[in-house]
Structure 1
Amino acid sequence: MTTSLRLSTVILPVRRWREGGEAEWRRAEELGFHAAYTYDHLSWRSFRDGPWFGAVPTLTAAAQVTSRMRLGTMVTSPNFRHPVTLAKDLISLDDVSGGRITLGIGAGGDGFDATALGQEPWTPRERAARFAEFVPLLDRLLSEPAVSHRGEFYSAEEARNVPGCLQRPRIPFAVAATGPRGMRLAVRHGQAWVTTGDPKLFETGTPEQSLAALRGQVERIEEKCAEAGRDPQGLEKILLTGFTPDRPLESFDAFVDFAGRHAELGFTEIVIHSPIPDSAFAADPGVFERIATEGLAKLG
Structure 2
Amino acid sequence: MPVRKGNTTWCVGVSRTSRHRGCVAGRARRSFPDLDKVDRSALTQPDQLIIKSIGCDLRPPGETIFGTCSHGKIGEIFMGKLMRAVAAAATGLAIVAVIPAASSATADKGGKSTSVTVRVEGESGTIFEHIIQTTGHDVTTVAGGTHHCDGTNNGANPRRGATPTSALDDASKAAGFTWDATYSTSFDDFLVTRVGGDAQTATQFWGILVNGALTPVGGCQVVLHRGDEVLFAFDAFAKNQVLSLRGPGTVHAGRTATYVVTDRSTGARVAGASVNGTVTDASGTAKLTFPVPAQVTVKADKANAIRSNAVTTKVVR
The answer to whether the superposition gives a TM-score over 0.5 is: no
Give the TM-score normalised by the residue count of structure 2.
0.28
More strand by share: 2
Which of 1 and 2 has higher RCO (CA within 8 Å, sep 6+)?
A: 1
Give the TM-score normalised by the residue count of structure 1.
0.29
More helix by share: 1
Higher Cα Rg, which structure: 2
